[in-house]
Amino acid sequence: MPNTIDAKTRLAGLIGWPLDHTLSPAMHNAAYETLGLNWVYLPLPVREGQDLVRVTTALRALPFVGFNVTMPYKRVMLNVCDEVATAAKLAGAVNTVHVVDGRLIGYNTDGRGLMESLKDEAAFDPAGKRAVIIGTGGAAGSALVGMILDRAAHVTLAGRRPEVGEDMIDNLVDRLRDTVAEAVALEASREAVEAADLVINATPLGMRPDDPLPVPQEWLQPGQVVADMVYRPSVTALMEAAAARGARTVGGLGMLVAQGAIAIEIWNQGTQTRAPRSVMRAAAEAALAAASAPAGTED
């Protein structure tokens, strides 16, 4: 945070529910300090869906540069924004909003954040590759759009409700270009998973210690990249299972940092300043460590 909060301080924040464990304030405020921005990032818990419009109406009039959106409001934010960027329309979800002269402009930085983390942490380029995305929710939609834009050869959406995945693909049929996309039931996805260059967990499975694996361990193969969008814990059961099978693993923290950094760059348009990923990651890791430390202990 800035040393002095004054009349020129601009605001940013995160809308969602619950927000008890969010890392976003830590990593955003660290970035603002590094960049010399007189901005402050705040958690903005919105418990009831009917309060969302009232809150966003207030944000139009307050000195907000923008805000992020997390569950359960990413989809509904599409209808709240005055303008929505193409990638957000394709993904069916908004996770970043730029406030410009009282207007709300919606973006989706999740797909770009995922692609950035794959390239940085696993040197993985989706072009010409086969990918399987586990899940059919908003996170899966963002990953699917990222894969299409980066020209993956084949993408399989595997979920409990394959009809939802089919609808997602139908909405993108005009954008597929060189990508073949299909939706299958999760239990019927073994062949696709075994043949994939990349497997992405876009479900919440792995956040709790007793969660089952998104896919059976024996389906994972040596040499694959297995990416888990879950970032808490930093090493999930899926990542451990994949590493034991000889796969390379990518956790969700890199994606979280990258999508947040891209959001800052959207809000700070016109400066050509790159958000400091390394600073943001260090702040997020410190916040994670502090949250997991036993009560009464110090770093």
| Residues 38, 159 within the same domain | no
Tell me the pLDDT tens digit for each residue of 207-216: 999 999 999 9
In a domain, 99, yes or no: yes
| Residues 118, 167 within the same domain | yes
Percent of the chain with pLDDT over 70: 97
pLDDT higher than 80, residue 53: yes
| Residues 156, 75 within the same domain | no
β-strand pairing of 96-100 with 103-107:
antiparallel
| Residues 231, 288 within the same domain | no
Q: Residue 216 maps to which CATH number?
A: 3.40.50.720
Distance CA 263, CA 260 (A): 5
Catalytic annotation, pick one of 8, 74, 89, 129: 74
| Residues 63, 90 within the same domain | yes
| Residues 102, 139 within the same domain | no
In a domain, 3, yes or no: no
Mean per-residue pLDDT, 237-262: 98
Instruction: Give the full edge-to-edge strand order of the sheet including 198-201.
Output: 180-185, 154-159, 130-134, 198-201, 225-228, 248-250
Q: Is 74 a catalytic residue?
A: yes
In a domain, 4, yes or no: no
Are 190 and 220 in contact by the 8 Å Cβ rule? The answer is: no
| Residues 36, 79 within the same domain | yes
Q: How confident is the model at residue 3 (pLDDT cuts 50, 70, 90)?
A: low
Total tally of structural domains belonging to the chain? 2
| Residues 119, 247 within the same domain | yes
| Residues 116, 230 within the same domain | yes
Q: Which domain holds residue 52?
A: 10-109+255-292
Note the pLDDT of residue 35: 97
